[in-house]
Amino acid sequence: MAEFIRHRVNDADLAKIQDQIESYTVALRSEIMPPGRLIKNVKLSTTKHRVFHGLNRNYSGYIVVSKDAHATVKVDKSDNVAPLRYIPLLASADVEVSLWVF
């Protein structure tokens, strides 16, 4: 998203419009998804599964975008073998998920 650029004006109404546009732009920028990668159709279960994330850096986190069953997904903190390549995940039940990894 382009950065908001304020222009100096002598018109009070135009300055108010710029104020509103700037506040909207700041709010919108804070709502954007962090840069990452969408990984679809990941099958998880109660046993650890290392998901290749392909970020070429340590992952910061993940968001479960969709799932086909009622299950909780979490990182297996006991397995931090290769965070540059994988995110180790566990689920509370068998589930297929799509993840946004960032």
The first and second tokens of residue 1, run together, are 């998203």
- Distance CA(94)–CA(16), nearest Å, equals 54
Q: Examine residue 83 and state whether it is found in any structural domain, yes or no.
A: yes
In a domain? residue 74: yes
Closest CA to 90 of 78, 102, 82: 78
Residue 46 lies in a domain: yes
Residue 9 lies in a domain: no
Q: Is residue 72 part of a domain?
A: yes
Domain of residue 97, residue span: 37-101
Residue 72 CA to residue 51 CA, distance in Å, equals 16
57-87 pLDDT, tens digit each: 999 999 999 999 999 999 998 887 888 999 9
The CA distance from 10 to 44, in Å, is 60
Number of domain units in the chain: 1
What does the alpha-carbon distance between residue 15 and residue 69 come to, in Å, rounded to a whole number? 51
Span 1-50, pLDDT tens digits: 567 788 888 999 999 999 888 887 877 677 677 789 999 999 999 999 99
Is the pTM value of this prediction over 0.85?
no
Domain for residue 47, yes or no?
yes
